[in-house]
Each structure stands twice: as structure tokens, then as C-alpha cells.
Amino acid sequence: MKKFFTLIIAALFSISLQAQTPLTEAVDFTATDHEGNEINLFEILDGGQYVLIDFFYSSCGGCPEVATNMVDAYYQLGCNEHDVFFMEVSASDHPNSAANWINTYSIPYPTIHNDFYGTTIEGQGTDICNLYQVELYPTLVLIAPDRQIVHQDIYPVHSPEDIINPLVQAGIEEHPCDGQEATTLIDVVKEKSTKIDVKFTPNAAAVSYYYMISEEANLPAEAVQVEGTQQTGEYTHTFTGLTPNTIYNIYTVSVDDLGNLEGFETAQAATLCEGGEGMAQIDVTVELANNNGTDVVRLTAEPNDETAEYHYSAITVALYEENTAVALDAIMHDNYPLCDVDVWDIPVVNLNPTADYYVVAIGMNGEGEWGDVCLTPFNVSTLGVSEMTMNNVEIYPNPASSVINIKSDMNGEGQVSLIDMTGRVVKDVNVTDISNATINVEDMSNGIYFIKIQQENKYRIDKVVIK
């Protein structure tokens, strides 16, 4: 498991572990989407529609899951032709990366992104994200026609219903898309060792549909009709007798009112490793080690025989206890499922030497039932590692507009990194004398950043404002 709540991410989470805009009333913007269409927020709202905005960027870990479910919700709520208008705003993507994102996830609604290539991250997408003070991604915001922000963030999103339900509660009605072809959505409800639960939801144009599961990919629609099972209406089916730890393809093909086959849909699901019916439990040991000359904290996670899948991560005790539910949800859906013994080395330089940490581990058994959370506490100092922080560092001015000056009691070369509020390094500078260095920030967008100053295994992280 390689997803770690680093010191930088921990600092971000201390602001708000759950992403959201702090605004309660919408701010107008006009931008050009990927297709060249001009989008004005207030014009849409004044037309009587709600607006749902997905604030994202293409390399964000949780963004694909939200986008996939948002696409399904878009088709169930009228394709921007009725009560609600869907759009997405990227914090950093340029035309090429946005095009790849749109093609990969078949995004049917407007995508607003930065409109040029460059060494700095700036443009209309970044400006709108800053306008709404979005600091963590993805953030899903619902705005009412009266310009009030109804939901500062819809979270968590693991299915289309997680989006549809709060929108329906706000007064938005489900509508078929005008001229919509018959289609049936596939929602993988639960994966088990030898079973997969799947929910099928046909749209209003689908009189019936055929469904099936297969290890074989790229089956044609005709094969699904011949080999599949016919069904009408919303239906949840449990596929049984499957092979553990195997990827399966789920297919649907729908039938319209004229008997034509339409809306060929596919989805992938994976059975869990073989596990039992008892309580999943993960034992974690923590020790100091050396990996090719680098001091590391080595975590070894070992699941019991009942465990079919597990996830684990390291997080400060303070953050975990303050945001337990959100932290657990992030760990359980980190896209790094494990079922065997795992060894993970964390460089000591990436850890706060004075902070108390938990290794948080949680697993599910062969029936897809989550076990109890396993917490293993540790502190770098108690593992015998000397303090690595860099003291006596002065960073000024703050806020800064053109340069940031650094003075310290360290001599020699060092590295200075500026990290934006999404955790991405936007500027990396090697300096010849860390005791007296100047970093030019004139080319950077206004906003809040973290500055990381590092020399060998010593480091310091501070918050800076550029305006």
C-alpha cells in the first residue's frame, strides 16, 4: 500500500479533511469549455436550473470515481435539459490532459480547464477553483437558481445514487434525456470472494434489457442477448460460483419500444482474494530499518486467514481522532486493495519526528463484510531516530508578491519546493547556499502554498501566501 498521508497532506487535512467550498452563495464566472462554448454561471441559474460543479484535476486519486458516477447521474437527471446543469472545472489541466480525461471517462457535460500550456499552473480553471476557495479535490458543489450554495460538497460518492439522492432532496426531478437511446446502467454493489452483487438500472427508454458476466472482454451485444438473462425494471442480481481474485466483465444491452438493441454497456468488477466468513483482522508491526542507505520506518502488514482484502495507511493521531469517519472512508477506498503480507518503507525524512502516528488497517472477509479497525501507534522518536527537523529558518516576506527570502543556520546546497493546496509541487528550485537564498515567485498564481526547505535528511515545511 503506497498511499501515505505525508506531512504535506496532513497539513492540508488539518485545514479540512473533507473537501468543500467555504462559500454559501455562488460567485459568477464566465469561461470557455473544452468544445469552445461560452459558459456563464448566472445565466444558467437565471434560466431556472440548478448547477452541479465537479471541481477536479485529472491526476487526482479520487476524481475518476466521482466522474464515473457523475456521468451516470447526468443521464438519469435529464442530460442538462431539465432541472439541473452539470459541469466540471479543472484546477490544473491544459487542453491535452483535459481531452484525454474527457475521452477516458466519456464526459458528456462541459469541461472547463486552463487554456494554454506552460511551466506554471494558471488560467480560467485555476481561477474559478480559487474563486470558490476549493483546496481539496474532488469537491462537488450544488448551486440553486437563487444562487445559494445548497451543498458545499457532496461526499462521499461511491455510486450514482450518492449524487442523485441529495439532488432529488433539493427538489430536482429525474427526467429521461430528450431523444435518449435505451440503456441500462451497471452499479457494482459489493464484491466478495466468489460472488459479486450488481444493480441494474434501465432508463425510461429501455423496455427491457439483457445482462451477463464473463471473464472474457469485448463481447459483442449480440452475444449478450443470446447468452444473457432478460430483465425489466431496476434489479439487483448476485452472480455466484466465481473464481477468487479474478477480474470479470459485466455486460448489459437494452431493448427499446421497437424491439431494437441499444445502449451496450460494460463494467469491470473483481472478486476478492479467498477469505473466510469470520472477522477480518490485520496485524501491523512497526520498526526502524535502513533501505539502501535511507533510514525508513518499516511497516509490515499481515492479514489473518479470514481476510479477503485489506487497506492500510499512516496518519497522525490528531488527524485521525479529529476526522475518523472521513479518514476511514479515504483509506477503505484508496484503490490499493491488498490480500497478502505487505511491507512498506516510509523514509524517515517524510515523517514529523515529534508527532504521534497511527497505522490504520481495516479488512473485509470473503463475504465482503468489514472487520474492526486495527490501530498500531508509533512515534519516530521512540523508534530511536534523532530529530530531523531544520530549526532557525526565517522565511520572508509572507505574504509575498515577487520573491521569498530564506535565511537559515545551515550552509551549502539545498532544495526548495513550493506545493499548492492540492499537494502538487509547482516549483522546485536547487539553491547553492541554503543559508541565504531567494526564490522568485512572480510567475506563480495568487494563493496559499506550502514551502518545503530540505538539505539532505533535514527539512522544514511552512505555509506561505502569494498575492
Residue-level pLDDT at 424: 67
The CATH number for 224's domain is 2.60.40.10
Residue-level pLDDT at 16: 40
Q: Is residue 372 part of a domain?
A: yes
Residues 95 and 193 in one domain: no
Rounded to the nearest 5°, which phi and psi values hold at 238?
-105, 115
Q: CA nearest 251: which of 288, 289, 211? A: 211
Residue-level pLDDT at 384: 57
Q: Which range among 136-150, 172-186, 199-213, 294-308 shows the weakest confidence by mean pLDDT?
A: 172-186
3-state secondary structure of 39: strand
Residue 95: in which H helix or E strand, if any?
helix 95-105
Q: What is the pLDDT of residues 320-359, one digit of tens each?
A: 888 888 888 889 888 789 999 999 999 887 887 778 899 9
Residues 51 and 133 in one domain: yes
Residue 15: in which H helix or E strand, if any?
helix 7-15
Mean per-residue pLDDT, 451-457: 79
The CA-atom distances, in angstroms, between 136 and each of 60, 147, 167, 202 are: 10, 22, 22, 34
Mean per-residue pLDDT, 59-72: 90
Residues 21 and 159 in one domain: yes
> Cell numbers at residue 176, please?
429521461
Checking if the pLDDT of 8 tops 50, the result is no
Q: CA nearest 444: which of 122, 125, 129? A: 122
Q: How confident is the model at residue 423 (pLDDT cuts 50, 70, 90)?
A: low
Total domains present in the chain: 4
Last residue of a domain, one of 245, 270, 295: 270
Tell me, what amino acid is at 289? A
Q: Is residue 427 part of a domain?
A: yes
The CATH number for 337's domain is 2.60.40
Half-sphere exposure of 367 (CA within 13 A, CB side): 7
Mean per-residue pLDDT, 364-373: 93
Q: Which range among 7-21, 66-80, 374-388 shows the weakest confidence by mean pLDDT?
A: 7-21
The CATH number for 91's domain is 3.40.30.10
Residue-level pLDDT at 121: 62
Last residue of a domain, one of 145, 169, 193: 169
Checking if the pLDDT of 381 tops 90, the result is no
Average of per-residue pLDDT values in the chain: 88
The CATH number for 421's domain is 2.60.40.3080
Residue-level pLDDT at 10: 44
3-state secondary structure of 393: strand
Mean per-residue pLDDT, 303-309: 95
Checking if the pLDDT of 387 tops 50, the result is no
Residue-level pLDDT at 459: 66
The residue behind cell 476549493 is 134
Q: Is residue 275 part of a domain?
A: no
Q: Is residue 277 part of a domain?
A: no
The residue behind cell 480560467 is 124
Give 331 or 457, the one with higher predicted confidence.
Answer: 331
Residue-level pLDDT at 343: 96
Nearest-10 crossing angle of helices 95-105, 63-76: 60
Paired residues of 300 in beta bridges: 285, 343
3-state secondary structure of 286: strand
Q: Is residue 176 part of a domain?
A: no
Q: Is residue 157 part of a domain?
A: yes
Residue-level pLDDT at 323: 81
DSSP annotation of 261: E
Q: Are 298 and 326 within 8 A, CB to CB?
A: no
Q: Are 267 and 186 within 8 A, CB to CB?
A: yes
Q: What is the pLDDT of residues 107-131, one digit of tens each?
A: 999 999 998 655 456 789 999 999 9
Q: How far, in Å, CA of 155 to CA of 137, rounded?
A: 11
Residues 25 and 159 in one domain: yes
Residues 98 and 157 in one domain: yes
Residue-level pLDDT at 383: 76
Mean per-residue pLDDT, 418-442: 84
Tell me, what amino acid is at 441? V
Last residue of a domain, one of 248, 270, 292: 270
Which range of 52-61, 228-237, 330-339 scores highest in mean pLDDT? It is: 228-237
Residue-level pLDDT at 119: 47
| Structural domain harbouring 220 | 184-270
DSSP 47-110: TT-EEEEEEE-TT-TTHHHHHHHHHHHHHHBTTTSSSEEEEEEESS--HHHHHHHHHHHT--S-
Q: Is residue 231 part of a domain?
A: yes
Q: Is residue 148 part of a domain?
A: yes
By the 10 Å C-beta count (0-12 exposed, 13-18 middle, 19+ buried), 133 is classed as middle
Whether the model clears a pTM of 0.95, i.e. scores above it, the answer is no
Q: How confident is the model at residue 388 (pLDDT cuts 50, 70, 90)?
A: very low
Residues 12 and 151 in one domain: yes
Q: Is the peptide bond before 337 cis (omega within 30 degrees of 0)?
A: no
Mean per-residue pLDDT, 195-214: 94
Residues 378 and 400 in one domain: no
Distance of CA 337 to the CA centre of its chain: 15
Residues 414 and 291 in one domain: no
Checking if the pLDDT of 456 tops 50, the result is yes
Mean per-residue pLDDT, 155-169: 93
Residues 247 and 195 in one domain: yes
Paired residues of 362 in beta bridges: 311
Name the pairing type of β-strands 111-112 and 84-90: parallel
Residue-level pLDDT at 390: 55
By the 10 Å C-beta count (0-12 exposed, 13-18 middle, 19+ buried), 142 is classed as buried
Please report, in angstroms and rounded to a whole number, the separation of the first and last CA atoms in the chain: 38
3-state secondary structure of 268: strand
Residue-level pLDDT at 152: 95
3-state secondary structure of 78: coil
Residues 300 and 367 in one domain: yes
Checking if the pLDDT of 224 tops 90, the result is yes
**Helical spans, DSSP H, in 302-363:** 317-322, 324-332
Residues 240 and 133 in one domain: no
Which range of 112-116, 162-166, 443-447 scores highest in mean pLDDT? It is: 162-166
Q: Are 146 and 47 within 8 A, CB to CB?
A: no
The CA-atom distances, in angstroms, between 57 and each of 92, 101, 111, 133, 220 are: 6, 9, 11, 15, 33
Mean per-residue pLDDT, 137-147: 96
By the 10 Å C-beta count (0-12 exposed, 13-18 middle, 19+ buried), 422 is classed as buried
Residues 397 and 334 in one domain: no
Mean per-residue pLDDT, 55-63: 89
